């Protein structure tokens, strides 16, 4: 599934082509996504100027003066910028044609993504209860420490909870916990303020590096220009179960937590 860096990479890729451009035509070829594409989506967008392309958690917000399209890439979706006569692909479900002639094509083989419309997206049911952005100043060690007091949730589950912080998906939770030497099963309420300082910084550092490298390519993700990200080449633990730890040489352990692959070093992480 595309995680926050992949979605941010997509946002940065499409924004220069879209912002302050008028939408000429919206073609919905298959409305049967995770939730049905609203019948009025095309009418809401056509003839209007895209004021901004923003991201909230893993959602893209295509903002207009009177509302926003809320886009989620699902498990296999991508948004591609088309500037030539490239033919349609099998799973190109939605196309947005701009006055400039540039088109955005939403491709989603598994159809777990979504395109919705909201006049007030910040208070939409999908977004209203989300925690802070991980790269925002308010996400820091003291925030995590306060929120974690009395919590008996494993730390990996705690930081992957979108009510705690958005966008720390499985890959990046594994990496940040390794960097701070925290065992993924350690209870959130039993971690010190000092360790939370370091964990918050590791999350910011890991996500920022992934964004700069264009995200992590796993299976289906390609970014807006069709090129994959390369952060996968820098992963320290994820996908390396059984291989030597790059710090101590101990074989990395691989387990399942909440149906997700979890890789850690039994010697370095406590």
Q: Which residues are catalytic?
A: 2-3, 58, 260
Q: What angle do CA 214, 215, 219 make, to 5 degrees?
A: 120
Determine whether 245 is exposed, middle or buried from the number of CB atoms within 10 Å of its CB (0-12, 13-18, 19+): buried
What the block records as the tokens of 200 is 């918050």
Pairing verdict, β 114-118 and 67-72 = antiparallel
56 Cβ contact partners less than 8 Å away, ≥ 6 residues apart: 121, 122, 127, 130, 133, 166
From the list 231, 228, 180, the residue with the least C-alpha distance to 207 is: 231
Name the binding residues: 91, 110, 151
What the block records as the tokens of 143 is 């925030």
Pairing verdict, β 67-72 and 260-264 = unpaired
What the block records as the tokens of 218 is 């796993």
Name the binding residues for DNA: 91, 110, 151
Residue 255, classed as helix, strand or coil, is strand
């Amino acid at each position: 599934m595309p995680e926050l860096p992949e979605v941010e990479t997509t946002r940065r890729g499409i924004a220069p082509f879209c912002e302050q451009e008028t939408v000429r035509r919206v073609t919905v070829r298959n409305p049967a996504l995770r939730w049905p594409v609203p019948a009025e989506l095309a009418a809401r967008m056509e003839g209007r100027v895209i004021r901004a392309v923003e991201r909230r958690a893993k959602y893209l917000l295509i903002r207009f003066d009177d509302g926003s399209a809320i886009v989620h890439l699902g498990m296999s979706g991508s948004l591609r910028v088309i500037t030539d006569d490239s033919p349609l692909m099998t799973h190109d479900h939605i196309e947005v044609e701009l006055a400039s002639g540039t088109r955005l094509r939403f491709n989603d083989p598994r159809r777990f993504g979504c395109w919705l419309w909201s006049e007030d997206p910040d208070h939409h049911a999908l977004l209203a209860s989300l925690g802070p952005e991980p790269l925002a100043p308010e996400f820091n060690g003291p925030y995590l420490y306060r929120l974690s007091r009395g919590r008996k949730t494993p730390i990996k589950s705690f930081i992957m909870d979108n009510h705690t912080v958005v966008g720390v998906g499985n890959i990046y939770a594994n990496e940040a916990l390794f960097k701070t030497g925290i065992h993924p099963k350690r209870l959130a309420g039993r971690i010190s303020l000092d360790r939370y300082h370091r964990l918050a910084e590791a999350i910011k550092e890991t996500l920022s590096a992934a964004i700069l490298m264009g995200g992590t390519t796993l299976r289906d993700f390609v970014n807006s220009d069709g090129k994959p990200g390369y952060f996968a080449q820098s992963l320290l633990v994820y996908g390396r179960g059984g291989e030597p730890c790059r710090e101590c040489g101990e074989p990395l352990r691989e387990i399942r937590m909440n149906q997700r692959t979890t890789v850690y070093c039994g010697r370095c992480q406590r």
